[in-house]
C-alpha cells in the first residue's frame, strides 16, 4: 500500500491531536522517536474552546446571578457593569493562551528532544503512514486522538449567515444584547446561563426537550426552570436564517421567527475521523462515525493503530478522554498486560445554573434493565444548608437496587451538584452498600452533603 510513497521520516510513535493525546509521552517514552501532529491550537478542545474557558465564564456568570438573586437573602446587590472584554482577556490572554503556547513550546523545545511537532492537518496515505502538509511520515505505532468538531445543521450552513460555535463565541469583542442558541444539550445549557446571567437576552431553539437524556424527574424541572429565564422553543428547529442590519433573523420550522445580535450553534459534535482518509490506512469506523477500537483502544482493523477520546469514544467527556489516554499509554508500555478502557459508572456535570450532575442509570433505564429498585428524591430545601441558601428547586435523586443495596444511579440538580455527586461516584466505583454508606460515616452538620445523607436514609429496603 505504501510501497510507492516517499516517506520523509519514520518514527517509533505518531500521535495525532494534542488534547488528551499530548499527555501520552512521559519520561517512559524518552527513548522513542515521536511525532506529534496538531493542526489547531495546542492543548485541544477542553483547554482552548471547551471545558476550561467555559467554566471560567460560568464562574463569572454564577457570581452575577447570585448578585441578582441576593434579594432572597435580604441583601440589596447589583452587578453594575459587565466588562466583557475584561472577562475575555482574563480567560484567554491571562490564562488559556499562555498555557497553550507553553505546551507547544515545551514539545518543540530542548526538554523533549525526541519529539518533533508537525502543525498541518494529518491524513492517512497508507498503513501507519500520514501526510501532514508537505511531509509524509510513518510510524511503528499511531495514536489517533483527533477529537471532534461542532455539527452544524444544513439549514444554517446553507443560509450563509454568520454563526458562532464554542470555538469563537467566547472571544466575541463585545457582549451581545441578544443571542439565539440552537441546541438544548450540554453546550447550549452552559452558554444560555453565561449569557443570561451577564445580561444578554437568550433565545433557545431545540429540536428535543432540554437535556433530553437526563432522568425524567430532573428533565421536567430543568425545562420548567429554563422557560422562566430564557425564551425557549423546544420541539423546533431552524428552517432558514438571514442576516440583517438588526443582526440575524432565524425562521423556525413552525413559521415563527426570532431576531438577535448573534447566533450560536450547539447541536452536537462529530468525531473528526471522517476528515482523515482513514480507509487509506486500513482503519475502520463505526456506523456512527467513530474510529472503531476494541476494549483496549486498538483499531479493530489496522495493526499498530490506537485511538482515544472524542474521535473514538462513545463518551465525549474530558475525564473519559484522559482515562482512555491512561489506558492506551499503559497498553503501549505493557503489551502483555493490557488494561481495558474504563467505561463503567461514567459521571458528567453540566455547569449551567442550577448545576446538573449525574452518574449511573436513570430510573427508566434501571427499570428497563429489570432491577428491583428503590428511589428517593430529596429536596435541597429540606436540609439546613438548603435553608441557608433559600433553595427552592434543588433535588437529589438516588436509585438503588433493593435486593443488593447497591447504588444504580445518582442525579443532582442544584447548587454544587458537580461536587456533591463525587461521593456517589465513589460509592459506585467501590461498589459500596448504600445502607452502610448512609450510617457508617459522619456527615458534617450542617453542610450541604446532608442532602445526600437524607436521600440515602430515605431509600426503603
Ligand X SMILES: Cc1cc2nc3c(=O)[nH]c(=O)nc-3n(C[C@H](O)[C@H](O)[C@H](O)COP(=O)(O)OP(=O)(O)OC[C@H]3O[C@@H](n4cnc5c(N)ncnc54)[C@H](O)[C@@H]3O)c2cc1C
Ligand Y SMILES: NC(=O)c1ccc[n+]([C@@H]2O[C@H](COP(=O)([O-])OP(=O)(O)OC[C@H]3O[C@@H](n4cnc5c(N)ncnc54)[C@H](O)[C@@H]3O)[C@@H](O)[C@H]2O)c1
Encode 446-460: b = buried (16+ Cβ within 10 Å), e = exposed.
eebbbbbbbbbbbbe
Q: Give yes or no for residue 232 binding ligand Y (CB under 6 A).
A: no
191-220: which residues touch ligand Y (CB under 6 A)?
Answer: 205-208, 212
| Stretch of residues binding ligand X (CB under 6 A), selected from 42-50, 76-84, 339-347, 358-366 | 42-50
| Residue from 168, 230, 215 nearest 356 by CA | 215
Q: Give every strand in the sheet of 178-182, ordered side by side.
A: 231-234, 201-206, 178-182, 262-265
Q: Could you tell which of ligand Y, ligand X, none binds residue 378, using a CB distance below 5 to 8 A set by kind?
A: none
| Stretch of residues binding ligand X (CB under 6 A), selected from 314-322, 407-415, 419-427, 429-437 | 314-322
- Per the CB < 8 A criterion, the answer to whether 150 and 263 are in contact is no
Instruction: Write down the least CB distance from residue 214 to ligand X, Å.
Output: 16
Instruction: Write down the least CB distance from residue 240 to ligand Y, Å.
Output: 12
Q: Give yes or no for residue 166 binding ligand X (CB under 6 A).
A: yes
Q: What 3-state DSSP class applies to 291?
A: strand
Instruction: Write down the least CB distance from residue 450 to ligand Y, Å.
Output: 25
Q: Is the dihedral of CA 310, 313, 319, 322 positive or negative?
A: negative
Q: Could you tell which of ligand Y, ligand X, none binds residue 65, using a CB distance below 5 to 8 A set by kind?
A: none
Of 59, 162, 334, 445, the catalytic one is 445
Q: Could you tell which of ligand Y, ligand X, none binds residue 182, using a CB distance below 5 to 8 A set by kind?
A: ligand Y
Q: For this structure, is 193 an active site residue?
A: no
DSSP-assigned letters across all residues of 181-225: EE--SHHHHHHHHHHHHHT-EEEEEESS-TTTTS-HHHHHHHHHH
DSSP-assigned letters across all residues of 125-149: EETTEEEETTEEEEEEEEEE---EE
Give the C-alpha separation, 281 to 36, whole Å: 18
Q: Give yes or no for residue 122 binding ligand X (CB under 6 A).
A: yes
Q: Is the dihedral of CA 312, 315, 318, 320 positive or negative?
A: negative
Nearer to ligand X, 321 or 359 (CB): 321
Q: Give yes or no for residue 121 binding ligand X (CB under 6 A).
A: yes
| Stretch of residues binding ligand X (CB under 6 A), selected from 47-55, 357-365, 371-379, 401-409 | 47-55
Q: Where are the alpha helices (DSSP H) in 39-185?
A: 44-49, 51-68, 84-88, 97-108, 154-159
Q: Give yes or no for residue 183 binding ligand Y (CB under 6 A).
A: yes
Q: Give yes or no for residue 269 binding ligand Y (CB under 6 A).
A: yes
Nearest residue to ligand Y by CB is 185
Instruction: Write down the least CB distance from residue 135 to ligand X, Å.
Output: 12
128-147: which residues touch ligand Y (CB under 6 A)?
Answer: none
Q: Give yes or no for residue 316 binding ligand X (CB under 6 A).
A: yes
Q: Give yes or no for residue 454 binding ligand X (CB under 6 A).
A: no
Contacts of 80 (CB under 8 A, 6+ apart): none
Q: Give yes or no for residue 248 binding ligand Y (CB under 6 A).
A: no
- Per the CB < 8 A criterion, the answer to whether 365 and 422 are in contact is no
Work out whether strand 395-401 and strand 407-413 pair parallel, antiparallel, or are unpaired.
antiparallel
According to DSSP, the residues that pair with 285 across neighbouring strands are: 291
Among 276, 356, 395, 424, binds ligand X (CB under 6 A): 276
- Catalytic residue ranges: 445
Contact positions toward ligand X, by CB under 6 A? 16-21, 37-40, 44-46, 50-51, 54, 121-122, 145-147, 166, 187, 272, 275-276, 309-311, 316-319, 321
Amino acid at each position: 500500500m505504501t510501497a510507492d510513497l516517499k516517506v520523509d521520516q519514520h518514527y517509533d510513535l505518531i500521535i495525532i491531536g494534542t488534547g488528551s493525546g499530548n499527555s501520552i509521552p512521559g519520561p517512559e517514552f524518552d527513548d522513542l522517536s515521536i511525532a506529534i501532529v496538531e493542526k489547531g491550537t495546542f492543548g485541544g478542545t477542553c483547554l482552548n474552546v471547551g471545558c476550561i474557558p467555559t467554566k471560567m465564564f460560568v464562574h463569572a456568570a454564577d457570581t452575577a446571578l447570585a448578585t441578582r438573586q441576593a434579594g432572597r437573602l435580604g441583601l440589596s446587590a447589583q452587578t453594575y457593569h459587565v466588562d466583557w472584554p475584561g472577562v475575555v482577556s482574563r480567560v484567554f490572554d491571562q490564562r488559556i493562551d499562555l498555557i497553550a503556547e507553553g505546551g507547544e513550546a515545551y514539545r518543540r523545545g530542548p526538554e523533549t528532544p525526541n519529539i518533533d511537532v508537525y502543525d498541518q492537518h494529518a491524513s492517512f496515505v497508507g498503513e501507519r503512514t500520514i501526510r501532514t502538509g508537505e511531509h509524509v511520515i510513518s510510524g511503528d505505532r499511531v495514536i489517533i486522538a483527533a477529537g471532534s468538531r461542532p455539527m452544524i445543521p444544513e439549514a444554517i450552513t446553507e443560509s450563509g449567515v454568520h454563526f458562532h460555535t464554542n470555538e469563537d463565541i467566547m472571544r466575541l469583542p463585545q457582549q451581545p444584547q441578544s443571542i439565539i442558541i440552537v441546541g438544548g444539550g450540554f453546550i447550549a445549557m452552559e452558554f444560555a446561563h453565561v449569557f443570561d446571567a451577564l445580561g444578554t437576552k437568550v433565545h433557545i431553539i431545540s429540536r428535543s426537550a432540554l437535556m433530553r437524556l437526563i432522568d425524567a424527574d430532573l428533565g421536567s424541572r430543568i425545562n420548567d426552570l429554563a422557560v422562566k429565564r430564557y425564551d425557549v422553543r423546544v420541539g423546533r428547529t431552524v428552517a432558514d436564517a438571514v442576516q440583517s442590519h438588526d443582526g440575524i433573523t432565524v425562521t423556525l420550522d413552525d413559521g415563527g421567527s426570532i431576531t438577535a445580535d448573534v447566533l450560536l450553534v450547539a447541536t452536537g459534535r462529530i468525531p473528526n475521523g471522517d476528515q482523515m482518509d482513514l480507509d487509506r490506512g486500513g482503519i475502520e469506523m463505526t456506523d456512527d462515525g467513530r474510529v472503531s477500537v476494541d476494549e483496549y483502544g486498538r483499531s479493530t482493523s489496522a495493526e499498530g493503530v490506537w485511538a482515544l477520546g472524542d474521535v473514538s469514544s462513545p463518551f465525549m467527556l474530558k475525564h473519559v478522554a484522559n482515562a482512555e489516554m491512561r489506558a492506551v499509554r499503559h497498553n503501549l508500555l505493557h503489551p502483555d498486560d493490557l488494561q481495558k478502557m474504563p467505561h463503567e459508572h461514567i459521571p458528567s456535570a453540566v455547569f449551567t445554573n442550577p448545576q446538573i450532575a449525574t452518574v449511573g442509570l436513570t430510573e427508566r433505564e434501571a427499570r428497563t434493565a429489570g432491577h428491583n429498585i428503590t428511589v428517593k428524591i430529596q429536596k435541597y430545601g429540606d436540609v439546613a444548608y438548603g435553608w441557608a441558601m433559600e433553595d427552592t428547586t434543588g433535588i437529589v435523586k438516588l436509585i438503588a437496587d433493593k435486593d443488593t443495596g447497591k447504588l444504580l444511579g445518582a442525579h443532582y440538580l442544584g447548587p454544587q451538584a458537580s461536587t456533591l455527586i463525587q461521593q456517589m461516584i465513589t460509592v459506585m466505583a467501590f461498589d459500596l452498600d448504600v445502607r452502610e454508606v448512609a450510617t457508617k460515616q459522619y456527615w458534617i452538620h450542617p453542610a450541604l452533603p446532608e442532602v445526600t445523607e437524607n436521600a440515602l436514609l430515605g431509600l426503603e429496603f
